[in-house]
A and B are shown apart, each in its own frame.
Chain A
Amino acid sequence: MERRLKPAPTDYRMCPLSSVVEQRNRKPHTSVRFWQGALAMAGGAVLLLVLMITFEKVSKIYPGNSVALQDLTLTIDAGEFVSIVGQSGVGKTTLVKLLIAEERASAGSIVVGGWDITHIRASEVPLLRRQIGVVFQDYKLLPKKSVWENVAFALEVSGAPRERIAAIVPQVIKIVGLEDKLHRYPRQLSGGEQQRVSIARALVHRPKVLVADEPTGNLDALNSQEIIELLKRINAFGTTIILVTHNRGVVNTLKKRVITMEGGTIAHDQKIGKYVL
């Protein structure tokens, strides 16, 4: 049986993400949109109660006794925007890998929305990944697929019907502002545009959590700012954002929770923090 973190809204236009499109493209003050917005907010409130990410005394030791994480305990509430900062090799990426079950913890437990994924079975990993959106520094797009196909692929692999794909894909592509580049291939896009495609693909399952691992690492200041704005808008409608970054400017302007890692564990955890390294 497929596990879900929470039942998804039946009408995609009612989910928080579609409101992002409306914020970008339309005037929001009609009665219908009011109720859609209200429902979205109500949905967000429910999510806030149920979707929590918990790392409990998690350690990760790689072969050769290389300790990446050491007794890390962390709780991220639903709807939070958390920046995880730290020098290279302190375990930031390992944290992301554990969250999407790319790696398994050596000790401790990881629970996402009530689902203990510490010892998740290989067959359940695809289900988890369809519910946690991930954005990488190197975009990880499929080079031989167009923008549309890259975004649609994430739905196709989960067996979504054609009609649903045809309805959702244009919406998420609109959210990231690439509606005029649907049929371009990744090599025909700038770095910023490729990262937007990556975000659109991550959003296509309407994830409750979006993990962004150095999403601005390969981008210039302007493109970085646009990506962060996009993440903020997505977060504003209830999606938890976990941003792993080295970008001091980004972290300092966000004025959100900042977790600073050192030596595989948490050195500082500030509700409204700054980049302190």
Chain B
Amino acid sequence: MTTLFRLFKFAWQDFWRNLWLSLVTILMIVLALMSVNTLLLFNVMTDTVIRSVEKNIDVLVYLKSDTTDEDAKKMTEELQKHPDVSHVRYITAAEALQEFQLKFKDKPALLSSLKELDKNPLPARIAVQASDPKLYGKILDDIAKTPAQEHIEKTDFTNYETLITSVNAITSKVRRIVLGLLILFVLVSILIVYNTIRVSIYTHREEIVVMKLVGASNAFIRLPYIFESVVFTLLSVIVSFGALYVLLLAIEPQLKAFFEGLDVNLLRYLEGHWYMWALWQFALAGMLNILSSAFAVNRYVRG
């Protein structure tokens, strides 16, 4: 117990008596964590945007004019049961007309030409949303194999196919780029943190030699530095999350304006997830710091 208390005391003394070095070390770790956190948030943001775009894509299955309401509802239920379908909405011909009129309310010429027709030209339709945009082809193929096929006039899948393909290509590219950047940032951060701890220990190398000469065991030399690196990690995680929160708070209005119409709220996301992130980062950065510290001290302990 006395030994443990002394190890904590030495760690604490070293932290305060080398305050500038401690602050610089913390600053470096904060910068490394912030760069990773910023990229993680960027990843969340792109993910939300992509999901939002995907949510807005649906395929319309136009029904033949002789399809009864009952058949259409039955077909809707069947589609709802499909494992790859996330959402199905049956739109009657009247609803379709209403939506059309609402959509083009600013174009009176178009609406008046519609009035010239003696009956509603818009067919009833089923809006199908897939759980993954890549699966639309498969869903439509599956529908084609069922008796419901006879009620289908046409689908607008062909029109959307190019759009969906390009959205898919873009989203997977963006995801890959963000993941690649994240890995790169994590690697750079690991190197920065490792080097920072090494430099910090390097400045203590003569002290380590002296400790050995007066009979300190290797564990007694190592542990205060390890405790100190845990303190560095804890403070760095707190500061980096604090700084990130303040930053998001400051740019919140701009973000809102930029992502208008999309469900993107990074501040809300951070408020809901920060403790999990902080815990993970404390564990991972702490482990990295402890290993760096032990490795760096080992060099002088053995030397």
- A residues bordering B, Cβ < 8 Å? 100, 102, 122-123, 125-130, 134, 136, 140-145, 153-154, 156-159, 161-162, 201, 205
A126: contacting residue among B17, B206, B217, CB under 8 A: B217
**Min distance, Cβ B187 to any Cβ of chain A, angstroms:** 34
- Within 174-217 of B, Cβ neighbours of A (below 8 Å) are at 206-207, 209-217
Do B2 and A157 have beta carbons less than 8 Å apart?
no
Do B213 and A140 have beta carbons less than 8 Å apart?
yes
Do A157 and B217 have beta carbons less than 8 Å apart?
yes
Question: Using Cβ atoms and an 8 Å threshold, which residues of chain B touch A128?
Answer: 215
**Min distance, Cβ B301 to any Cβ of chain A, angstroms:** 10
Measured between alpha carbons, how far is A145 from B14 in the docked complex, in Å?
Answer: 9
Question: Using Cβ atoms and an 8 Å threshold, which residues of chain A touch B214?
Answer: 129-130, 153-154, 157, 201
Do B13 and A156 have beta carbons less than 8 Å apart?
no
Known: A126-B217, A144-B207, A158-B215. 11 other contacts (CB 8 A): A100-B213, A126-B216, A129-B212, A129-B213, A140-B206, A140-B210, A144-B18, A153-B214, A157-B211, A159-B2, A205-B215
How many positions in chain B have a CB within 8 Å of any CB in the partner chain? 20
When C-beta atoms are compared, the residue in chain B nearest to A140 turns out to be B210
Known: A159-B2, A161-B2, A162-B2. A142 touches B216 (CB 8 A): no
B220 at interface, CB cutoff 8 A? yes
B207: contacting residue among A123, A143, A162, CB under 8 A: A143
Do A157 and B213 have beta carbons less than 8 Å apart?
no
B138 at interface, CB cutoff 8 A? no
Do A156 and B6 have beta carbons less than 8 Å apart?
yes
Measured between alpha carbons, how far is A153 from B9 in the docked complex, in Å?
Answer: 12
B3 at interface, CB cutoff 8 A? yes
When C-beta atoms are compared, the residue in chain A nearest to B14 turns out to be A144
**Min distance, Cβ A83 to any Cβ of chain B, angstroms:** 22
Do A157 and B13 have beta carbons less than 8 Å apart?
no
Question: Using Cβ atoms and an 8 Å threshold, which residues of chain B touch A127?
Answer: 215
When C-beta atoms are compared, the residue in chain A nearest to B204 turns out to be A144
Question: Using Cβ atoms and an 8 Å threshold, which residues of chain A touch B210?
Answer: 140-142
Question: Using Cβ atoms and an 8 Å threshold, which residues of chain A touch B3?
Answer: 159
Do B6 and A154 have beta carbons less than 8 Å apart?
no
When C-beta atoms are compared, the residue in chain B nearest to A158 turns out to be B215
Could you tell me the dominant secondary structure of chain B's interface residues? helix
Max chain A C-beta neighbours (<10 A), residue from B17, B212, B215: B215
Question: Using Cβ atoms and an 8 Å threshold, which residues of chain A touch B213?
Answer: 100, 102, 129, 134, 136, 140
Measured between alpha carbons, how far is A27 from B207 in the docked complex, in Å?
Answer: 40
**Min distance, Cβ A74 to any Cβ of chain B, angstroms:** 22
Question: Using Cβ atoms and an 8 Å threshold, which residues of chain B touch A125?
Answer: 212
**Min distance, Cβ B210 to any Cβ of chain A, angstroms:** 5
Do A157 and B209 have beta carbons less than 8 Å apart?
no
Measured between alpha carbons, how far is A125 from B217 in the docked complex, in Å?
Answer: 8
Do A157 and B215 have beta carbons less than 8 Å apart?
yes
Known: A153-B214, A157-B214. A140 touches B2 (CB 8 A): no
Query: What are the nearest 9 A-B pairs in CB distance?
Result: A130-B215, A157-B216, A129-B215, A154-B214, A144-B17, A126-B215, A126-B217, A140-B210, A157-B220
Measured between alpha carbons, how far is A142 from B14 in the docked complex, in Å?
Answer: 11
**Min distance, Cβ A148 to any Cβ of chain B, angstroms:** 13
Question: Using Cβ atoms and an 8 Å threshold, which residues of chain B touch A102?
Answer: 213
Do A154 and B215 have beta carbons less than 8 Å apart?
yes
Do B18 and A140 have beta carbons less than 8 Å apart?
no
Measured between alpha carbons, how far is A157 from B14 in the docked complex, in Å?
Answer: 16
When C-beta atoms are compared, the residue in chain A nearest to B221 turns out to be A157
Question: Using Cβ atoms and an 8 Å threshold, which residues of chain B touch A161?
Answer: 2
Measured between alpha carbons, how far is A207 from B213 in the docked complex, in Å?
Answer: 14
Question: Using Cβ atoms and an 8 Å threshold, which residues of chain A touch B14?
Answer: 144
Measured between alpha carbons, how far is A161 from B3 in the docked complex, in Å?
Answer: 9
When C-beta atoms are compared, the residue in chain B nearest to A130 turns out to be B215
Measured between alpha carbons, how far is A205 from B215 in the docked complex, in Å?
Answer: 10
Max chain A C-beta neighbours (<10 A), residue from B13, B207, B213: B213
15 sampled A-B residue pairs with Cβ under 8 A: A126-B216, A127-B215, A129-B212, A129-B215, A130-B215, A140-B206, A140-B213, A142-B207, A153-B216, A157-B214, A157-B217, A158-B215, A159-B3, A161-B2, A162-B2
When C-beta atoms are compared, the residue in chain A nearest to B210 turns out to be A140
Question: Using Cβ atoms and an 8 Å threshold, which residues of chain B touch A100?
Answer: 213
Measured between alpha carbons, how far is A127 from B14 in the docked complex, in Å?
Answer: 25
Question: Using Cβ atoms and an 8 Å threshold, which residues of chain B touch A122?
Answer: 218
When C-beta atoms are compared, the residue in chain A nearest to B302 turns out to be A122
Measured between alpha carbons, how far is A136 from B213 in the docked complex, in Å?
Answer: 10
Question: Using Cβ atoms and an 8 Å threshold, which residues of chain A touch B6?
Answer: 156
Measured between alpha carbons, how far is A201 from B211 in the docked complex, in Å?
Answer: 12
Question: Using Cβ atoms and an 8 Å threshold, which residues of chain B touch A144?
Answer: 13-14, 17-18, 207
**Min distance, Cβ B6 to any Cβ of chain A, angstroms:** 5
Max chain B C-beta neighbours (<10 A), residue from A127, A136, A145: A145
**Min distance, Cβ A250 to any Cβ of chain B, angstroms:** 23
- Within 11-41 of B, Cβ neighbours of A (below 8 Å) are at 13-14, 17-18
- Within 214-241 of B, Cβ neighbours of A (below 8 Å) are at 214-218, 220
**Min distance, Cβ B185 to any Cβ of chain A, angstroms:** 35
Measured between alpha carbons, how far is A125 from B301 in the docked complex, in Å?
Answer: 12
Measured between alpha carbons, how far is A274 from B207 in the docked complex, in Å?
Answer: 36
Contact with A along B164-177 (1 / 0, CB 8 A): 00000000000000
Max chain A C-beta neighbours (<10 A), residue from B18, B212, B214, B217: B214
